[in-house]
Structures are given as C-alpha cells and as structure tokens.
Amino acid sequence: MKIINPATEELVGEVAVDSTEAIKFKYENIRAGQAAWAAKPLQERLDIIVKFGEIVDQHVDRLAALLTAEMGKPVWQAAGEIKGAKNRVKFLVDLAEKTLAEDFVTPEGATKEKIVYEPLGVIGNISAWNYPYNVGYNVYLPALVAGNAVLYKPSEYTALTGIEMAKMLWEAGVPEDVFQVVIGGKEAGQTMLDLPLDGYFFTGSYRTGKHIAQTVAHKLVPVGLELGGKDPLYVAEDVADVANVAAAAAEGVFYNTGQSCCAVERIYVNEKVYDQFITSFVEETKKLKSGSPMEEGVWIGPLTRPEQIDVIQQQVDDAVSKGGKLLLGGKKMEGKGYYYEPTVVVDVTNDMPIMQEESFGPVIGIMKVSGDEEAVKLMNDTEYGLTAAVYTQSKERAEKMMAKLNAGTVYWNCCDRVSPYTPWSGRKNSGMGSTLSHIGIRAFVQPKAYHLRG
C-alpha cells in the first residue's frame, strides 16, 4: 500500500497490507494472550498506559511530522493533537479504578449481591484518519485498561501512524499478544468483521458504520459507532462581541481543514446581527493562511483524500445554482496537492446538500434566522446529531435551546470541543453508544451479577 503525502502528492512510504491469513494469525495470537492480561491487577495495566503516554510525549515532533506527511494537517495542529491526547491517559488514571471496581449493591442480609465488571474479551477497533491519536485512544486505551485484547486497524490514510502507536504500546509493556495492528483498507476491515470478535468499535463514516453494524448484528456482541456530523452553530443577537464569535466560529469550521467530526458545518445567525457577523466571519477566514502544512503559521492544509474535492465542489455548485452566494473560495487550488479554497456560501436554504450532508472540508454555509425558535428547528433538521452550539449572553436562553437540541453534545459559547470526562456519543446517523467518560469505560466490560449466600 502506497502512502501519498496529500500536500505534495509524493510517496511517503509503502507498507505491506495484511492478508486474510495474517489477520487471522494476529487474532489468534491476541485471543491466546487476553486471559493473562485480564488477570493482571488493574493498577499494573494502568501503569503501562501511563508509561505509553510518557513515551508518546518524548516523540511529539517526529510523530507530528509523520502524521502531517500522511494526512496533511498543519504540523502545529498535529503536535497539538498528539500532546492533547495525553488527557485520555489522565482521565483513565482518574476514573478507571472507580468505574471498574466491583459494586456491592447489597452488602447486608442473608443474600449479598454484587456486580463485577469483566472484560469483553478480544475487541476490534476500526478507526479513522482525521484525529488518529484521539479516536484511537478513545477506544483502545480504555479497552486495554479494562483487560481486553485489541485488534486495531488504523485507517489506510494513517497506517504509518498506527504502526508507531503499536510500537509505543509494546515498548510501554502492553504484550504483543494483547495488542496487534492490522494494516489495510476496506478488505482488511471486512476480514475483521468475519472474525469471532467480542465487540466492534468503529470510528468513521455513517455509510461504513451502518455496514459494520448490519454485518455483525447476528453475533449479538457490543457495537460502538462514532460517526459523522453536520454540526450547527447559532449566533443570537445578544452576543457581547460579534467579531469574537465570528473568530471562534471560523476556528470551529476550519480547524483541521474542516476535517473534524465535530467541525462546525452549518451556521445560523439571528437577523439582527447577520450582516455584522458575515463581515467579521469573512475577515477572519481571510486571515487563515493556506499552504504547506509543514510551514509555520499555516492554518489550512490539503484535504486528506482527493475524492473529497469532488464532494465539496458538488455541494458548492449545487448551492450556487439554486441561489446561494459565494463570498469566498469555491474551487480547488491550482498546483500540487489536494487543496480546496476556504469557502463561505450565504443565501443558502436548509434543504441544500451543503446544509445537510457532511462536507468534511474548508466549506461553510450560513443562513439568516428570525430567532431562537427557528434556529432550533433548523439545527435539528438533519440526519445527524453529534454536536450543536449556541452563542448568547444568556445562560437561561442557551439552556432552553440546548434542552431541545437533538445532539449527543451541546455547547454554550464554545464549539468543536471534546472532553474525556463527558460522554462522546452521536445520535441519529452520528452513531450508537458512547466513548469517553465513565460510560465510555463501561463500554468495554460486561457486568456479572453475583448472588452470595452463606
């Protein structure tokens, strides 16, 4: 498999794709090793994961350069992701013991009762490329801490990063017969679906997630799906500083070149501040420099997958053909690399693909609304339900809206943000189940009820 640098279209490296036999061999290897891993005291497993975090920390610059070469995110954002992902280790140190401890629900009486949390066994983690550290950590770290063995398939777009992760886990003390990495694309993922795994945890598109859930449904094992989004942001007329909100919104739209599951993908602005917001938003967007992701000060890098350029172009062309107005951008950039211009489209309607389908690129549609009620209605008018943001000075007003928003995460005066202490869960086509928080640790265990007499 060739790994191509999306900024230069040059070869970064070549890796051997795992054959079906090789994947089966890896599976059997970790199936054999899982029981011994689960038998270790929790603290020992946690110490290994803490050590892993320290090893990652020692290699940030090298790992960031590799990640940028593979998938094109500006290198300072790559370093930010790698350093920031450390909070996943800290959250496990803070919560794992409490969450996984046995629970004596009936400590007195003739029949005592307790709940014990046992690992699922061998789980599969099929992952995405856009934040490979964060989305990998969200699954395999709690799974390992809980005593599972993990067959991890990084995306084919970040395979080299996936191999580095495995090496660092092994170096930290996770046995090779407990964590194995599968290299390949769709076919390798499909082979994992055919194996008798005890759980499937997927991060990626709705289309693939649905296919995975349908394919493994007959096995009746846990399936976790973290899928795409079409995340809305609303600006009320009472915001203290429209320019500040526009700057925050632009960051939410364009960070990671728009390739975040929780990127702001739609903006609704109260008509009373609409013109002011648009002026500031366009100004802010113009400040974001496009260029080589290895260059300092660059905000917008290339898209990771060249095919996404056509998806975005179709959304933009469709919007413009139906009356949408292009204020910025609107086409692929000339020259080498999969670059698309930062693009702002106004006068759109909510039924257009640009306001309904995940863009996953540096593109935004903005609509004027009459007030909170219309905003909530339009924000909920989507097949996705990952996050939704409300900007207003009034907490009461924000909370009233947030209660009505059908999304797994709601934000007041912030956006495009993940905390390991709260559940990360999509509604509707954005997913099933939850990672992170104590709920995301419990996702990797099965309860056993003990009834104890005597």
Residues near ligand NAD (CB under 6 A) are 126-131, 135, 153, 155-156, 185-186, 189-190, 193, 203-205, 208, 211-212, 226-229, 261, 358, 360, 386, 424, 426, 431
Beta carbon nearer to ligand NAD, 8 or 190: 190
89/105 Cα distance (integer angstroms): 29
CB atoms inside a 10 Å sphere around CB 112: 15
Is 397 exposed, middle or buried (CB count within 10 Å of its CB: 0-12, 13-18, 19+)? middle
Beta strand 179-181 pairing with 111-119: unpaired
DSSP 8-state secondary structure symbol assigned to residue 19: P
Beta carbon nearer to ligand NAD, 80 or 173: 80
Phi, psi of 187 (to 5 degrees): -65, -40
SS3 354: helix
191/214 Cα distance (integer angstroms): 15
CB of 187 to ligand NAD, least distance (A): 8
CB of 66 to ligand NAD, least distance (A): 18
Nearest to 122 by CA among 138, 98, 157, 146: 146
Question: Are 381 and 406 spatial neighbours (Cβ–Cβ below 8 Å)?
Answer: no
Is 297 exposed, middle or buried (CB count within 10 Å of its CB: 0-12, 13-18, 19+)? exposed
Rounded to 10°, the helix 132-145/86-100 angle is: 30
Nearest to 5 by CA among 337, 309, 307, 332: 337
- As annotated, the active-site residues are 226, 261
Q: Which residues contact 350 (CB under 8 A, 6 or more apart)?
A: 356, 367, 378, 381
Beta carbon nearer to ligand NAD, 133 or 424: 424
Phi, psi of 446 (to 5 degrees): -120, 140
Q: What is the DSSP string of 36-48?
A: HHHHS-HHHHHHH
The residue number with the shortest CB distance to ligand NAD is: 189
Rounded to 10°, the helix 20-39/186-194 angle is: 60
394/244 Cα distance (integer angstroms): 16
